[in-house]
Amino acid sequence: MDLSSVHRLARLPGALLLACLPVVSSPAPAADPPPQSLVRVERSFDAMGTTYTVVAYGHDRFAVDSAIEETYEEARRLDQLLSNYRPDSEWSLVNREAARRPVEVSQELFDLLARCLDYSRQSGGAFDITVGPLMKLWGFYKGDGRVPHRAEIRTALARIGWQKIQLDPRARTVRFTAPVEMDPGGIGKGYAVDRMAAILRARGIRSALISSGRSSIYGLGAPPSEPRGWRVTLPDPRHRNRNLAEFFLKDMSMSTSGSSERFFVAGGRTYTHIMDPRTGYPVQGMLLASVLAPHTIDSEAWTKPFFVLGRQWAARHKPKEFQVFLCEDRSENACAYLP
């Protein structure tokens, strides 16, 4: 990616960010035919608890539409594999049985769980797929947020911990050393977007944009009218005509976590849905974390540790191929771009 194409705001006032999800500027059909008579196809569908939008260009409308339909089928397949709301999913089977016995799983799920544990190790536990009990305790699953008692938080903390997940590569099994509950929310959308991009590539699509609820995005190639890539902006919600940052995604992903996605206010204090699994409390002092990375599963997973641990930690531990944009909840030098 051309770093010169990134524009950033030097300062952001410290009040709560009201809306921070990226806006994708998908090129509209041009008045003149795109190069080599490319056709543009756009479709949206619901899967895995969110809305996916796919925009793709190609020479044959039927072939492009067929490729997008295949991405929809893949999202549905992954929903059946990873959903913790479907009792018949492989993910739910592990949650039900792994505290009692080793559970043999598919290679796909085993590899995905191995990556999750690797994220946890690298982030010192700031990323943790067992954080579900805390999300439920604070009311973020049903949308009726509440501040729990400290004793409740201590009880929930005893039921989470990525270290309690044991993987046996030889037997391809998962075992919990104590009762925990895994939640795919931190990686599921990113993994699905990557799988969908792989399908489009395999079907000969060279220019496409895949968006998962706008929080996880992948730009495949570039649109015909913009060789730099797919334009994505982070808006400043208090000044709708201004942007916090602008990026061009070309064979690159971008994921964003923000304090305004889900939150509630109690006692004059704002509590965001992004939890610190080490303390049991929602993160304070951060507004937004956006990560650009070659793979969407990585960008989605790493927004959480960067949001939880902050600018200094991110600057020291950010993988070299990542680009990170952070906004803290303070008035001076609130936003920083880490190339």
Tens-place pLDDT, residues 209-251 = 999 987 899 999 999 999 999 999 987 645 567 788 899 999 9
Predicted confidence at residue 21, as pLDDT, reads: 57
Residue 139 or 268, more confident: 139
Predicted confidence at residue 24, as pLDDT, reads: 59
Predicted confidence at residue 245, as pLDDT, reads: 84
What is the distance between the alpha carbons of residues 146 and 157, in angstroms, rounded to a whole number? 17
Predicted confidence at residue 25, as pLDDT, reads: 53
Q: How far apart are the first and last CA of the chain?
A: 11
- Find all residues with CB under 8 Å of 64, minimum gap 6, and list them: 39, 41, 56, 57, 58, 205
Mean per-residue pLDDT over the chain, rounded: 86
Section 123-132 average pLDDT: 94
Per-residue exposure over 291-314, b if at least 16 CB sit within 10 Å of its own CB, e if not: bbbebbbbbbbbbbbbbbbbbeeb
Predicted confidence at residue 164, as pLDDT, reads: 97
Predicted confidence at residue 270, as pLDDT, reads: 74
- Write the pLDDT tens digit of every residue in 151-200: 999 999 999 999 999 999 999 999 999 999 999 988 999 999 999 999 99
Rounded to 5°, angle at Cα 310 from 309 and 316: 85
- Find all residues with CB under 8 Å of 69, minimum gap 6, and list them: 43
* Residue 4 in this model has a pLDDT that exceeds 80: no
Predicted confidence at residue 116, as pLDDT, reads: 97
Predicted confidence at residue 140, as pLDDT, reads: 80
* Residue 292 in this model has a pLDDT that exceeds 50: yes
φ/ψ of 117, rounded to 5, equals -65, -35
Residue 4 or 37, more confident: 37
Rounded to 5°, angle at Cα 244 from 128 and 249: 70
Band of residue 321 on the pLDDT scale cut at 50, 70, 90: very high
Q: Give the global pTM.
A: 0.87
* Residue 19 in this model has a pLDDT that exceeds 90: no
Tokens of 301: 């997973």
Band of residue 132 on the pLDDT scale cut at 50, 70, 90: confident
Segment among 85-99, 284-298, 317-331 with least mean pLDDT:
317-331
Band of residue 324 on the pLDDT scale cut at 50, 70, 90: very high
Predicted confidence at residue 234, as pLDDT, reads: 86
Section 261-268 average pLDDT: 73
What is the distance between the alpha carbons of residues 274 and 257, in angstroms, rounded to a whole number? 8
* Residue 28 in this model has a pLDDT that exceeds 50: no
* Residue 31 in this model has a pLDDT that exceeds 80: no
The number of residues in the chain equals: 339
* Residue 100 in this model has a pLDDT that exceeds 70: yes
Per-residue exposure over 163-172, b if at least 16 CB sit within 10 Å of its own CB, e if not: ebbebeeeeb
- Write the pLDDT tens digit of every residue in 47-95: 888 999 999 999 999 999 999 999 999 999 999 999 988 999 999 999 9
Give the 3-state DSSP-derived string for the chain, with helices as H, strands as E and coil as C. CCHHHCEECCCCCCCCCCCCCCEEECCCCCCCCCHHHCEEEEEEEEECCEEEEEEEEECCHHHHHHHHHHHHHHHHHHHHHHCCCCCCCHHHHHHHHCCCCCEECCHHHHHHHHHHHHHHHHCCCCCCCCCHHHHHHCCCCCCCCCCCCHHHHHHHHCCCCHHHEEEECCCCEEEECCCCCCCHHHCHHHHHHHHHHHHHHHCCCCEEEEEECCCEEEEECCCCCCCCCEEEEEECCCCCCCEEEEEEECCEEEEEEECCCCEEEECCEEEECCEECCCCEECCCEEEEEEEECCHHHHHHHHHHHHHHHHHHHHHHCCCCCEEEEEECCCCCCEEEEC
Distances (CA, A) of 173 to 110, 215, 243: 8, 32, 47
